[in-house]
Amino acid sequence: MPFWQQDLESMSQEQIQKLQLKKIQNQVSKLYKDNTFFKKKLDDIQVKPGDIKSLEDVKYIPFTYKEDLRNNYPTGLVCGNWDNVIRIHMTSGTTGVPVAMAYTKNDLDVWADCMARNFVAGGLHSGDIVQQAHGLGLFTGGLGFHYGLERVGAKVIPTGSGGTERQLRLMKEWGTTVFTGTPSYALYLAEIAMEKGIDPVKDLKLRLGFHGGEPCTDEMRRRINERLGYTARGGGMRRCYGLTEMGGPMSMDCHYATGIHLWADHYMVEVINPDTGEYTPPGEPGELVLSNLSFEAMPILRYRTGDRVIVDFSPCPCGRTHPRITNFLGRVDDMLLVSGTNVFPSQVENVLLQQSELSENWQLMVGDNKGLHTLRVEVEPMPGVIISEKYIKDLEGKLHDFLEIRCKVVIMPVGSLARFEGKAVRVVDERKKI
């Protein structure tokens, strides 16, 4: 399989480290000169840009937290020439102040190249006809995918999300070979196809899918592959990685599916113990910390992603030499504290999607019964399947083993749980906020 930028993607470790040092020194100098917030942070701990003499010294650069971006919204973290900014993206801000990112032309080019690397590593070529169904707008996902696909030279049909029957009609009319959208939307598309008498495996020409916007389990990816008759990339447990603070979606797995390729010439990767801030030993889990080495408008350094991962720094069999996230152990943000126990919704999904009797639609309700937290898992059987009381008890047992906390399984009528054309919302926390 070809590369998008072979020289850069297969640099030696020595080359990567040399480039990273040069780039991070440049970012620190620029930020120190141009951004008062960053300058104050460095001044407070009496570090000067010149103190960063080797990659070991990067640990002297203070961490950046999501709160820093929120407190400096909208433009407090812009660095250098605001005049060169040509794009602004942001999160919805439904849970508070939005997180915004500003881009120069060069930043958009870096981003599009990273996405193009991911797509080519996953098997996309310029002959492909792509229906891009991540919503186009303020979120980074839609336009991030769009510009990357266009850069590869694939034929992009920019449908955006929704209009499922029309998506299916276009797939037939244009012989669409690649679909991009959230994993849950891919499954919804398969469901509607079957309802409309379209067999995606026989009637459509899809061969690849690239999925972002939300995590999904390996089992969910297996179902997507089976029902749409293609190979899903980015499906699986967080096999597409990105965050607005780093510019948007940036990393995906390659056709060897050995982990998410991070692009070390543009993003510096560190893995730390979230409690001490010290590096964890190689191969050990820890919190992912990222620094944007190439962006001009708003480079964020040492960003605490809140993602617990294992990173492999050895080369991939595909020939790419950059680090890979091989295990995604959950997000601190997604973690629920239920009667003193940590529960990751992904753990629940992992158990549920191994049940061939159940559809991939589910919901986790967290309740409060006089101070005692309760977990209720609502699931739907596959059409025509009858669920017995014994089956429910067994499933509750499995969930208990896995979560180390009791939860109640409730069988809902087929088709009654919410379907999502965008990012799926699986958790409803009904506990009173203190």
Distance of closest approach, residue 361 Cβ to a copy of itself, in angstroms: 26
Site for a copy of itself in 136-155 (CB under 8 A): 136-138, 142-143, 150, 153-155
**In three state form, how does the secondary structure of the chain look?**
CCCCCHHHHCCCHHHHHHHHHHHHHHHHHHHHHHCHHHHHHHHHCCCCHHHCCCHHHHHHCCCECHHHHHHCCCCCCCCCCHHHEEEEEECCCCCCCCCEEEEEHHHHHHHHHHHHHHHHHCCCCCCCEEEECCCCCCCHHHHHHHHHHHHHCCEEECCCCCCHHHHHHHHHHHCCCEEEECHHHHHHHHHHHHHCCCCHHHHCCCCEEEECCCCCCHHHHHHHHHHHCCEEECCCCCCEEEEHHHCEEEEEECCCCCCEECCCCCEEEEEECCCCCCECCCCCCEEEEEEECCCCCCCCCCEEEEEEEEEECCCCCCCCCCCEEEEEEEECCCCEEECCEEECHHHHHHHHCCCCCEEEEEEEEEEEECCEEEEEEEEEECCCCCCCHHHHHHHHHHHHHHHCCCCEEEECCCCCCCCCCCCCCCEEECCCCC
Distance of closest approach, residue 242 Cβ to Zn ion, in angstroms: 17
**316 touches which of Zn ion, a copy of itself, none (CB within 5 to 8 A by kind)?**
Zn ion
- Among 126, 276, 356, 369, the residue binding a copy of itself under the rule CB under 8 A is 126
Closer residue to a copy of itself (CB): 4 or 32: 4
- Among 28, 58, 85, 351, the residue binding a copy of itself under the rule CB under 8 A is 85
Does residue number 157 form part of the binding site for a copy of itself (CB under 8 A)?
A: yes
Does residue number 60 form part of the binding site for a copy of itself (CB under 8 A)?
A: no
Task: Give φ, ψ of 121 to 5 degrees.
Answer: -60, -25
Distance of closest approach, residue 41 Cβ to Zn ion, in angstroms: 36
**318 touches which of a copy of itself, Zn ion, none (CB within 5 to 8 A by kind)?**
Zn ion
Residues binding Zn ion: number (CB under 5 A): 5
- Among 76, 80, 123, 158, the residue binding a copy of itself under the rule CB under 8 A is 158
**427 touches which of Zn ion, a copy of itself, none (CB within 5 to 8 A by kind)?**
none
- Among 159, 164, 184, 294, the residue binding a copy of itself under the rule CB under 8 A is 159
Does residue number 277 form part of the binding site for a copy of itself (CB under 8 A)?
A: no
Query: In whole angstroms, what is the distance from residue 38 CA to residue 56 CA?
Result: 20
Does residue number 196 form part of the binding site for a copy of itself (CB under 8 A)?
A: no
Does residue number 87 form part of the binding site for a copy of itself (CB under 8 A)?
A: yes
Does residue number 86 form part of the binding site for a copy of itself (CB under 8 A)?
A: yes
Does residue number 397 form part of the binding site for a copy of itself (CB under 8 A)?
A: no
- Burial class, 127, CB count within 10 angstroms (exposed 0-12 / middle 13-18 / buried 19+): exposed
Task: Give φ, ψ of 329 to 5 degrees.
Answer: -100, 5
Distance of closest approach, residue 424 Cβ to a copy of itself, in angstroms: 20
Site for a copy of itself in 206-245 (CB under 8 A): none
Site for Zn ion in 301-360 (CB under 5 A): 316, 318, 320
Contact letters for a copy of itself, residues 90-109 (x by CB under 8 A) = ------------x--x----
What are 368's strand-pairing partners? 373
Distance of closest approach, residue 165 Cβ to a copy of itself, in angstroms: 12
Largest interatomic CA distance in the chain = 69
Closer residue to Zn ion (CB): 227 or 261: 261
Closer residue to Zn ion (CB): 70 or 255: 255
Contact letters for Zn ion, residues 246-265 (x by CB under 5 A) = --------x-x---------
Distance of closest approach, residue 93 Cβ to a copy of itself, in angstroms: 8
Interface residues with a copy of itself (CB under 8 A) are: 73-75, 83-89, 102, 105, 126-127, 129, 136-138, 142-143, 150, 153-160, 173-174
Contact residues for Zn ion (CB under 5 A)?
Answer: 254, 256, 316, 318, 320
